[in-house]
Structure 1
Amino acid sequence: MPSAAEQLAANASLSQFAKATDLKKRIWFTLGALVVFRLLSYVPLPGIDPRALATLFDTTKGGVMDFFNTFTGGALTRMSIVALGVMPYITASIVVQLATSLSPSLAAIKKEGESGRKKLNQYTRYGTVGLTAIQGYFISMGLVAWGASQGQSAVVVDPMLFRLTTVITLVGGTLFLMWLGEQITSRGIGNGVSLIIMAGIVAQLPATIVGALDQARTGATSPLMVLGGFVLVIGLILFICFMERATRRVLIQYPKRQTARGMQQGDKSFLPLKINTANVIPPIFASSLLALPLTITQFAGKHINGESRWGDFVISLNQWIGQDTPMYFVLYAAGIIFFAFFYTAVVFNPEETADNLKRYGGFIPGIRPGKSTETYLDYVLTRITVLGAAYLTLICVLPELFIPRHLVGFGGTSLLIVVNVTIDTVTQIQSHLLAHQYGDLIKKAKLKGGMRR
């Protein structure tokens, strides 16, 4: 017979949604916040001529600009007030987490609990301001110089004023998205930053689908190639869903207990270790780290080309590590593998898990409690993380090589983020429904207890 908890978990479906008032409020808040993000992506920077900007971007289609434009939902090519999205915030988070692992003083702050977490979050915000200001300055310089030699500059105000307002506006836009993501996390459903990134990707998908079908209709691309691209996308989605649900279950045995009824058999349970413990963090982190130098060199090259001796170096660097180059894929794959291991080490501590098992009397059959259990868990986690890192690299790199460029919106990284965030969001909704059912069960139990009295 299934337990009451198992029955509740089985019944925690969307059919109970109408009764969960708090959950509906959270979902509406999340949707409203994402609508605000999408509206802001259409508000251009002050001093920009949108038509001239669109003409300039049409001459430089493809490459890194299109790739990172996908993560901002088109805000980058429109040069909106949220053109940089949440990428600077993610990059600052990476720097702070790496520094926490390397610096004993920051590690001590992390161990302070809630107060330490608040301090580290404050450092992350300071880093976000600095990185956004640097990227915003180079973007403003590039926009001033871009197309000026052909008399087609998109900037219609004084260059010095434009640089100042651009940096201030982009910093404000990124900080607002950072705050919006935190509000979604606390008052909405799921991870707010991940949902903002997913919203940008999903917003680009309709245009991508229409563009692909239009190219097939006009004969610009073979219909079979477009059909093959869609089939590959469906296959990737199924493969991602399978791998995200894959776990390595470690058997945990508890000793026999003496009760009033006599000696009872010890309980058994499983410690589930996901194949992809790091989830979607590694590709997001790797993308954000690549976005910083590529954005700077992309726009700085437009400003200094022909004006200083560094112009050729910056342009060569951008071409060397630009999208579709071998070095770009090497750096991207290396970043994914590194962050897969790094973030797994952050979220799962074998020593702490082994201590908890020993404290509550649990053990792994054939493994001594304590240090031996810690070594065994670290060994198992390392092996499955190798598989997880290989899976993430395969998903994020190979489709970029084989999916046609007009289907860039269906790239492996985009699909991975959308599928993962969707799974996490559905899981959060089910958790809220389950909590709501438990609340109803407790209320009914209290009412019955009161009636018996």
Structure 2
Amino acid sequence: MIFMNTTNNEFSKNKPINIFLPESAQKKLFLTFWLIFLIRIGGSIPIPGIDENSFSNLFQSSSSVQNVLQNFSGSNSFPTLFSLGISPSINASIIMQLFLSINPDLKKMQREEGEFGRRKIEQYIRYLTLFLSLVQSLFLSFSFKQFIFGWTIFKTIEISFFLTTGSMVVLWISEVITKSGITNGSSLLVFLTIIGNTPQQFKQLLPYLNIFNSLLIIFILFVTVNSIIFLQQSTISIPIVTLKISTKNSETANLRQKTFLPFKFNQTGVMPIVFTSYMLPILTSVGYFCLQKINNFHIFPFSIICPKIFGQIIYFGVEFFLICLFTYFYSTLTLNPKDVSDDLQKTAFFIPGIRPGQQTFRYLEKLFQRQALIGGFILAANAVLLNVVSLICKVQIVESISIGSQIIIVGVIIEIVEKFRALIISDIYKNYFKVKN
């Protein structure tokens, strides 16, 4: 309970204002907890028609079944109503962002049609989520053919509809959390999945840790988490002025000097890590295949053997390069300097010392490129650093402390803190003006 001191006697005599948990924050928090509870219930409802005993026995002994579940449902447990989770929606959002960058009609609708265009894009994402959920559920259902009682094609379709319905329910819950809860729904669900898997992962890791490994991992976590906080919280502020403000008025001149166009230092979030995780296994397989074919055809008079340490160096180098490349590529998708330049020109704003139009575009393009390269370098360095530590300690770094997981965890925590801070400040002002009136 915190008290606010003011010069208004009537306000100070009134009841103290609780700015720790205002009513609006309590409602959002309660709604979010209730929806998370529904997610947990849906995650406990098993898919009908599957032999749970035979599935569990094979699951314990077969890594291929675990890989199928991990690839298509993102979990390593018996398939349930919400097994697909939020992954189809996230994949649909990524695909839609790629479509927006290559389709001028979609891009024009998003930029020029305001709220209508935004809702139309969201509708397209829902349709794409439905399609991806159906495809994933069909693959998952056919992979469980041996566990289905009295298998028929109709039972497989029935199970796929069951999984697809669960995925769309999860999408609806995430949208409700985003609209009326405490943070972005999709990020929160991924955050909860990571946190939920952390204890089990660390439990499996404990037998392989010693004092040196533990201290080294703690130190590296301290470095990487602070780097992620720097990337997530740092902004670039570009000073802008407008022709509508008179420079003769000293008061407006001071206001003009305080007008900035802020841009987050890291515009890409976790996407470069996601793209790199998709590409690295493919490139590794292609590399080993080509090396095997070269040795089989005896192109050289000797067999080419790649030492393990040399292979690790190449792997880390390719990983570093791909993260930097995807950071640069995805930055151009999320933040186009041409669009920013056009918007400034339309609203009669310009950057001091730089002419509107082409010069502004070139200035912003160089600034964003430099920003993307620095951000990509920091992100790649931290990702490779964790892998090097994993190699030194001879233990597999758990998924919950990877760079991608750190970005999600830090981002969600920061967003929740900022949301509560805004609600607290809003509650203070509402109570203050209520007493003043």
> 357, 377, 387: which one pairs with 2:364?
377
Partner of 1:123: 124
C-alpha RMSD of the superposition: 3.8
Percent of aligned positions that are identical: 27
Match of 1:268 in 2: 257
3-state SS of the aligned residue for 1:98?
helix
Distance 1:325 1:167, change over 3 A: farther
| Range moving further from structure 2, 410-419 or 53-62 | 53-62
Given residue 368 of structure 1, which amino acid in structure 2 is its aligned partner?
R
CA distance change for structure 1 residues 357 and 266 in 2, over 3 Å: closer, same or farther? farther
Contact in 1 for aligned 2:69/2:77 (Cα 8 Å)? no
- Separation in structure 1 between the aligned mates of residue 192 and residue 183 of structure 2, nearest angstrom: 13
| Superposition TM-score, scaled by structure 1 size | 0.72
Distance 1:265 1:195, change over 3 A: closer
Amino acid at match of 2:58: L
For residues 173-219 of structure 1, give each alpha carbon's deviation from its aligned partner in whole angstroms, at most 9, with x where no partner exists. Answer: 11111111100011101211111111111111122233333x1xxxx
Q: 2:43 aligns with which of 41, 48, 54?
A: 41
Q: How does 1:319-338 map to 2 (within 5 A)?
A: 337=324
**In 2 relative to 1, CA 109–246 (structure 1 residues): closer, same or farther, beyond 3 Å?**
closer
Q: Retained in 2: the 8 A contact 1:71–1:198? A: no
CA contact (8 A) 1:247 1:272 kept: yes
Q: Determine the C-alpha separation between the residues in 2 that align with 1:141 and 1:325.
A: 36
Is the Cα–Cα contact under 8 Å of residues 140 and 163 in structure 1 kept in the other structure? Answer: yes
Q: What CA distance in whole angstroms lies between the structure 2 residues aligned with 1:130 and 1:327?
A: 38
* Superposition TM-score, scaled by structure 2 size: 0.74
Q: Does residue 30 of structure 2 align to residue 28 of structure 1?
A: yes
In structure 1, what is the Cα distance between the partners aligned to 2:41 and 2:119?
30
Q: CA deviation at 1:375?
A: 1.9
Asked if 1:96 is matched to 2:96, the reply is yes
2:101–2:107 CA contact under 8 A, matched in 1: yes
Q: Which residue of 2 aligns with 1:417?
A: 408
Aligned residue runs from structure 1 range 34-183, under 5 A: 34-61=36-63, 65=67, 68=70, 72=74, 74=75, 76-110=76-110, 111-145=112-146, 154-183=147-176
Q: Deviations over 1:370-390 (max 9, x none)?
A: 432232122101110112223
Q: Distance in 1 between matches of 2:218 and 2:104?
A: 49
CA distance, structure 2, for counterparts of residue 248 and residue 228 of structure 1: 33
1:245 aligns with 233
Structure 1 residue 418 displacement after superposition: 0.9
Instruction: State whether structure 2 residue 282 is matched by structure 1 residue 280.
Output: no
| C-alpha contact (below 8 Å) 2:138/2:160 kept by paired residues | yes
Deviates most, 82-91 or 47-56: 47-56
- 8 Å CA contact 1:71–1:201 kept in 2: the answer is no
Is the 1:17–1:24 Cα contact (8 Å) retained in structure 2?
no
Separation in 1, partners of 2:79, 2:312:
25
CA positional deviation for 1:69: 7.6
Gaps of 5+ in 2: 1-16, 283-310
Which residue of the partner structure matches residue 296 of structure 2?
A: none
- The structural deviation recorded for 1:26 is 0.7
Q: Give 1:101's aligned amino acid.
A: S
**Unaligned residue ranges in structure 1 (runs of 5+):** 1-13, 146-153, 294-323, 448-453
CA contact (8 A) 1:34 1:199 kept: no
Q: Are the counterparts in 2 of residues 89 and 178 from structure 1 also a CA contact under 8 Å?
A: yes
> Of residues 234, 251, 254 in structure 1, which corresponds to 2:222?
234
CA gap 1:209/1:334 in 2 versus in 1, 3 angstroms: same
3-state secondary structure, aligned to 1:405: coil
SS in 2 for 1:344: helix
- Aligned pair partner of 1:439 in 413, 430, 433: 430
SS at match of 2:113: coil
- Among 418, 426, 432, the alignment partner of 2:417 is 426
The whole-number CA distance in structure 1 between the counterparts of 2:317 and 2:52 is 36
- The CA deviation string for residues 137-190 of structure 1, in whole angstroms up to 9 with x for no partner, is 222222224xxxxxxxx4344353541222111111111111111000111012
Looking at structure 2, the residues matched to 283 and 92 of structure 1 have their Cα atoms a distance apart, in angstroms, of 17
Contact kept? 1:257, 1:263, Cα under 8 Å:
yes
Quote the offset at 1:367 in angstroms: 2.1
The answer to whether the 8 Å contact 1:90/1:285 transfers is no
Q: Distance in 2 between matches of 1:138 and 1:328?
A: 31
Return the offset for 1:340: 3.4
Tell me how far apart the structure 2 counterparts of residues 326 and 43 of structure 1 sit (CA, whole Å). 45
Please state if 1:195 is matched with 2:188. yes
With over 3 angstroms needed to count, the CA separation of the structure-2 counterparts of 1:265 and 1:101, relative to structure 1, is closer
Q: Secondary structure at the match of 1:380?
A: helix
Provide the secondary structure at the position in 1 that maps to 2:398: helix
- 1:258–1:264 CA contact under 8 A, matched in 2: yes
